Structure 1
Amino acid sequence: MTVQHVLEDTQRFLEHLGLGEEPFGVYYADRLPDNAVGPKTGVPISRELEDAGQLDLQEAMKTFSCVMANIRLARKKGCAAFISKEEYGCFGGVYYCSLMKPHLRFIEHYVTTGFSGTPVHGERYLPTPEAMRKFLAEVDPRKAPGRYCIFKPLSSFADGEEPELVIFFARPEVLSGLFTHTIFTTGEMDCVASPFGAGCTNMVAWPLYYQEQGVEKAVLGGFDPSVRKYMKGDELTFTVSWSLYQKMLQTLPESMFNVDGAWKEVRKKVARSAKAWGEDTATA
């Protein structure tokens, strides 16, 4: 499918779902699009510097910038967001977006129980640093094929450009449509996964993990407490690979969206929800 065909079919998909916001695509490149938003350049960080005691964490934190915070800004402005090894913003984000390996040991403690005798109490999202190490070793992001990991609206992709991943931002009724249509497309009962991870882990690292395994899975995310402040109320993320997304578009004509079934009632709830939140909804 050409990008133009995908965009045309995407508009029909959004109308079926009642979703007024188009999805974002994720890709890697050595150049940034115009007006892209992202972190400022930070001091150098690496495991080598950390192990040598030469990593100034306080200085590095001065340029902290969450991946989802930049995506939120890009969603508002209709532009691209990015992260790179030099403009990392977040110690976890630069790892999960495939831009720096190995990870900093710091995050093993920060996400779990903190550092004894210091004010860093830890986020307590996993019980021990050992559990965090196991998680990091499992997700193990592949090497990035470009300098930047870029997120931008699907309509911003030109012919010749292709995203690796497609991310939807949606509330429960719309998610029920995405979830069910993914199952309809794949025929697999467990084709939607929601493993533990930060917001960017479930938008980038886990989808790439499944893609590298040759497994077609959508990833439901946005449950990370640290990322909730950068998302709308009741909103989650739903990410699929580019290849799976194209298949989902191709199966639309035979899907539940085109029969006189339960989705018509759900679609009414989607419209009521959008009205309650003061948002636009794609018209049926």
Structure 2
Amino acid sequence: MQNVIERTQRLLELLGHDEEPFGVHYTDAKPADGFGPKPGEIFTRDREAAGQIDWHKAFANEFSCLLGNVWLARRKKRAAWISHESCGCMGGGFYSGMYRPYLETNICYVTTGIPGTPMEGEHYLPDHPSMRAFMDDTMPPEAPAKYCVLKPLHQFDGDEEPLVVAFFVRPEALNGLFSLACYATGNHNAVASPFSAGCGALIAWPLVYQQRGEERAVIGGFDLSARKFMKTDEMSFAAPLPMYRKMLDAMEHSALTRHTWQGVRKKVAKSMRAWGETTAD
């Protein structure tokens, strides 16, 4: 893993990007220093059907967005985490594999709401059938340990490895990652951007594609509800570790070392200056 961490610094140099990616992994040990939800409602289909979930508490008092905790972790260079007992969001729990099947309430919440209740719905998909099709399609592997943890890549040590490596980048640096992914895999369909929650693009979709035997990275950041936890103009790019290793192997003879990229890289620095951030040049 140390080799991956060291070569990632070279990739960041080539991209002109100054933020280390995060790794996604599962562990039974709660991070000692990080950001996550407080213990609260436990989401299961059985508890939902029995009317045992206090939705007012779940949506108001206990709500904690996984992307919001990742945002804090990025700023403080710490870990963000979620578990079944400390979930904070029914969507985040599902997309991180903490429970299955999905909840009927989530079907209503993302679409048209529940008539006669305060839940008006997000209207991100038009109806329940389209939302069910999405949830069935994006169902991630079941969590292999108690906690799903996202943390800076350099914090992985020993035999610990991430399942997914996730970058937060603006379009020019994203352009470089996209190009490298296609080059490293020899596949023009190596990058996808499916409908997704913000956390689903970091966790569920990369693992779902890998489970299907499809070598594919995922561009995210299109979740309207999660945009407040990302920088202006910023998107996410997440790749399963085996694919990411291929990208590192290919970077020195990819377009990132050719003259065309150098022109694009200048725009990376220009973008950082425009937002008052430290440039990599």
TM-score (norm 2): 0.97
**Equivalent residue, structure 1, for 2:184:** 185
Report SS of the residue matched to 1:251: helix
1:83-132 C-alpha deviation (Å, 9 max, x unpaired) = 00011010111000000111111010010000112221110000001211
**Equivalent residue, structure 2, for 1:32:** 30
14-23 or 55-64, which moves further after superposition?
A: 55-64
| Cα drift, residue 282 of structure 1 | 2.8
Matches within 5 A, 1:112-151: 112-151=111-150
1:107-166 C-alpha deviation (Å, 9 max, x unpaired) = 100100001122211100000012111111111111111000000000101021100000
**Equivalent residue, structure 2, for 1:282:** 280
1:185-205 C-alpha deviation (Å, 9 max, x unpaired) = 011111100000100111111
What CA distance in whole angstroms lies between the structure 1 residues aligned with 2:116 and 2:97?
Answer: 32
Report SS of the residue matched to 2:4: helix
**Equivalent residue, structure 2, for 1:7:** 5
1:212-245 C-alpha deviation (Å, 9 max, x unpaired) = 0111101000101000001000000000000111
Report SS of the residue matched to 1:220: strand
What CA distance in whole angstroms lies between the structure 2 residues aligned with 1:255 and 1:43?
Answer: 48
**Equivalent residue, structure 1, for 2:109:** 110
| Cα drift, residue 273 of structure 1 | 0.6
CA RMSD after TM alignment: 1.0
**Equivalent residue, structure 2, for 1:222:** 221
Q: Which amino acid aligns with 1:155?
A: H
What CA distance in whole angstroms lies between the structure 2 residues aligned with 1:26 and 1:41?
Answer: 21
Q: Which amino acid aligns with 1:238?
A: F
**Equivalent residue, structure 1, for 2:48:** 50
Report SS of the residue matched to 2:88: coil
What CA distance in whole angstroms lies between the structure 2 residues aligned with 1:181 and 1:148?
Answer: 31
| Cα drift, residue 33 of structure 1 | 2.6
| Cα drift, residue 32 of structure 1 | 2.1
What CA distance in whole angstroms lies between the structure 1 residues aligned with 2:42 and 2:74?
Answer: 29
Off by >3 Å, runs of 4+ in structure 1:
none
What CA distance in whole angstroms lies between the structure 1 residues aligned with 2:132 and 2:109?
Answer: 12
Identity of aligned residues (%): 50
Matches within 5 A, 1:167-178: 167-178=166-177
| Cα drift, residue 47 of structure 1 | 1.0
1:149-184 C-alpha deviation (Å, 9 max, x unpaired) = 000000101021100000000000001000001011
3-12 or 19-28, which moves further after superposition?
A: 3-12
What CA distance in whole angstroms lies between the structure 2 residues aligned with 1:280 and 1:248?
Answer: 26
Runs of at least 5 residues in structure 1 that lack an aligned partner in the other structure: none
What CA distance in whole angstroms lies between the structure 2 residues aligned with 1:194 and 1:146?
Answer: 27
TM-score (norm 1): 0.96
**Equivalent residue, structure 1, for 2:87:** 88
Runs of at least 5 residues in structure 2 that lack an aligned partner in the other structure: none
237-246 or 32-41, which moves further after superposition?
A: 32-41
* Pair 1:23 & 2:21 matched: yes
**Equivalent residue, structure 1, for 2:71:** 72
* Pair 1:249 & 2:248 matched: yes
Q: Size of the alignment, in residue pairs? A: 280
| Cα drift, residue 64 of structure 1 | 0.3
